[in-house]
Amino acid sequence: MNVPKQDFVHRFHIIGISIAVIMLVLIYFSSLVTGVDFDTFMTNIDQFGVILGQMKDPDWSYLAKMKDPLLQTVQMAILGTTFGTALAIPFSIFAARNIVKNRIGRGIIRIILSLIRTLPNLLLAALFVAIFGIGPMTGVITLALFSFGMVSKLFYEVIETIDMGPVRAIRATGASMAQTVRIAVMPQVAGQFMSDFLYTLEINVRSSTVLGYLGAGGIGLYLQQTLDQYDYPRTAVIIISIFVVVLVIDTISNYLRKRLQ
Amino acid sequence: MENQIVLEFKHVNKTYQSGVKGLEDINFKVNRGEFVAVVGLSGAGKSTMLNSINKMIDITDGEVLVDGVDISKLKGKALRQMRRKIGMIFQNFNLVERTTVQKNVLAGRSGYYPTWKTMLGLYSKADKQKAVEELDKVNMVKKLYRRADELSGGQKQRVAIARTLMQDPTLVLADEPVASLDPKTSKGVMDDLYHLKKYENITVLVNIHSVELALQYADRIIGLRDGKLVYNKPIAEANEADLKQIYENGVEQ
Ligand SMILES: Nc1ncnc2c1ncn2[C@@H]1O[C@H](COP(=O)(O)OP(=O)(O)OP(=O)(O)O)[C@@H](O)[C@H]1O
Ligand SMILES: [Mg+2]
């Protein structure tokens, strides 16, 4: 039997090649516009070596003072992620196509969620520092809102992949929509929700370390101070301790997420 | 004994949005405690008919009377209370796979609970007791604390029957309940469904492809073809040749 011939477009990968060419052209033009200059990069790279040299003798005595701000950083991340996730659960249900048939209501919720997601973390922090003042509370609110935007989307995408058979069966027993979600939807998504929560927590631990830069609590404040004073031996201690904390949290979270699979 | 009508279709039509006529002017009555087999080719409208009895799909016009009430016009709480009386069994069992048999069976009772109790997973002691009793009727008590995904197909269907019994239904609808089971398991599940009629006086409507099983269990046989009711006879008058014809004269879609 003859192998059927593919048409011209598919046979020569016209679409793939076109996209690649367009991408290259776009990258070239955006580097022109933003003024990315390879020469400047090369001439300044030795500065990197200088600072690294000053960091090679970390001021370990500073470590004890870092304990509380580090702890605060992690606490901010945990609280922010928890509040954001808790709020995301009802919203993701209302945004899920297979649960809410009302297109308009769903559309409005989805628009709100994507608007929240367009706001970068640091912008949110700057905004909330202006509203709520300096302190870890502001960090928690920032992280909560950021997690809310991200987790809601992850959650409703999970909900949209569930098996609808049990949902129909529970609905048919005379259960209300809320009861049906609790009985037939939650058990199907709980594991993935937990995994998404942990993943968001990892991201938030990382971002909460820099929020202090804007006055939103945590270790970032100290990072800013030592850098402003060119106190690189202390900066080194901060960076190393952040690195260790992030690594520990990521490892625990990864382990738990594997267990959830 | 006086015949009491549990279910009645009056001039029921269902046209899907695609323009396909799922049901065309369907009329029939079912008495309490009857075991009715619904037969017909694939695409004849059997599932459409069954799903319009508990308003899982909306009919286009006509009336579907359950215990004298037109369910097709009900909404909200009134509809949910009506659905409590109507059990449903599916070809794919539709258990919540990641929870225990006990929770699956208790879920059949949720129409009787306020939402906040369900949210907290609270069920009364009496209902926990009832769950064990209903599981006992289908011989599945030993699996009470097992997860549903550990069960075989036949066992899952039995648990689904126990879940339906939790509703205290007057009417049970089964959409090809044994289509994915082997012959021996099929017989066991059909026996369980038959016991609902025999011991609990529950009316049972079963969509079924097997003519043998239909003749073996049913009190009455209803035949559909292309959305129309083409056959409706008590078992005493039904014969295999008639049934074969329902299948042969239709055009496979
Ligand atoms: N959601 C839907 N939208 C449009 N058409 C549908 C829909 N569901 C069913 N139909 C059509 O309605 C007709 C009856 O379908 P139905 O599922 O009731 O048949 P059935 O007798 O249950 O078939 P089977 O034995 O294969 O289960 C078919 O032509 C089918 O294609
Ligand atoms: Mg069907």
Does B243 lie in the same domain as B147? Answer: no
- Confidence band for B39, pLDDT divided at 50, 70 and 90: very high
Does B68 lie in the same domain as B114? Answer: no
Is the model more confident about B21 or about A52?
B21
Number of structural domains, chain B?
2
**pLDDT greater than 60 at residue B252:** no
Q: Specify whether the CB–CB gap between B83 and A173 falls below 8 A.
A: yes
Q: B92: Cβ–Cβ under 8 A, 6 or more apart, which residues?
A: A165, B180
Number of structural domains, chain A?
1
Q: Look at the block and give the residue holding tokens 């009455």.
A: B220
- State the residue range of the domain holding B151: 94-168
Residue B60, CA atoms < 13 Å, CB-side half-sphere: 15
What single string gives the DSSP state of each residue in B57-121?
S--SEEEEEETTEEGGG--HHHHHHHHHTEEEE-TT----TTSBHHHHHHHTTGGGS-HHHHHTT
Q: Which residue of A has its CA nearest to B84?
A: A174
**What pLDDT score does B253 carry?**
39
Q: Does residue A22 lie in a domain region?
A: no
Last residue of a domain, one of B125, B143, B168: B168
**What pLDDT score does B163 carry?**
96
Mean pLDDT value across residues A150-174: 95
Question: Closest ligand 1 atom to the C-alpha of B40?
Answer: 21
CA distance B78 to B44: 30
**pLDDT greater than 60 at residue A151:** yes
**Phi/psi-derived region of residue B233, left when phi > 0, alpha when psi is between -120 and 50, beta in every other case:** beta
The CA-based dihedral angle spanning residues B77, B79, B81, B87, taken in that order and rounded to the nearest 10 degrees: -140
Structure tokens at A59: 């001021």
Last residue of a domain, one of B168, B188, B211: B168
Question: Closest ligand 1 atom to the C-alpha of B209?
Answer: 25
Structure tokens at A14: 């016209």
Query: How far, in Å, is the centroid of ligand 1 from the Cα of B171?
Result: 22
Q: Summarize pLDDT for B52-103 with one digit per residue, the tens.
A: 999 999 999 999 999 999 999 999 999 999 999 999 999 999 999 999 999 9
When CB atoms are compared, the residue of B99, B110, B121 closest to A173 is B110
- State the residue range of the domain holding A109: 61-260
Q: Does residue A95 lie in a domain region?
A: yes
When CB atoms are compared, the residue of B56, B82, B107 closest to A183 is B107
When CB atoms are compared, the residue of A168, A182, A190 closest to B94 is A168
Q: Do the strands B61-66 and B228-234 form a parallel or antiparallel pair, or are they unpaired?
A: unpaired
**pLDDT greater than 70 at residue B111:** yes
CA distance B222 to B229: 7
Q: Summarize pLDDT for B190-224 with one digit per residue, the tens.
A: 999 999 999 989 999 999 988 889 889 999 999 99
**What pLDDT score does B249 carry?**
61
CA distance B244 to A205: 69
Helix (H, G, I), strand (E, B) or coil at A222: helix
Task: Please tell me what DSSP assigns to residue B227.
Answer: T
Q: Which residue of A has its CA nearest to B165?
A: A173
Q: Summarize pLDDT for A188-239 with one digit per residue, the tens.
A: 999 999 999 999 998 998 888 888 777 777 788 888 888 888 888 888 888 8
CB within 8 Å: B86 and A172: yes
Q: Report chain A residues whose CB lies below 8 A from the CB of B71.
A: none
- Confidence band for A256, pLDDT divided at 50, 70 and 90: confident
Query: How far, in Å, is the centroid of ligand 1 from the Cα of B159?
Result: 27
**What pLDDT score does B2 carry?**
57
Average pLDDT over all residues of chain A: 87
Mean pLDDT value across residues B96-112: 95
CB within 8 Å: A174 and B81: yes
Pick from A117-126, A208-217, B19-28, B61-70: least confident = A208-217
CA distance A96 to A185: 11
Model confidence, pTM: 0.83
What CATH number is attached to the domain comprising A169? 1.10.3720.10
Q: Specify whether the CB–CB gap between B29 and B222 falls below 8 A.
A: no
Mutate to test the interface with B, among A101, A158, A167, A179 (most CBs of B within 10 A): A179
CA distance A184 to A72: 38
Q: Specify whether the CB–CB gap between A85 and A197 falls below 8 A.
A: yes
Q: Specify whether the CB–CB gap between B195 and B161 falls below 8 A.
A: no
| Chain A residues with at least one Cβ partner in B under 8 Å | 163, 165-166, 168-176, 178-179, 182-184, 187-188, 190-191
Last residue of a domain, one of B148, B168, B188: B168
**pLDDT greater than 90 at residue B36:** yes
Q: Look at the block and give the residue holding tokens 């769903």.
A: A106
Q: Summarize pLDDT for A30-70 with one digit per residue, the tens.
A: 877 777 777 777 777 777 777 777 777 787 887 888 888 88
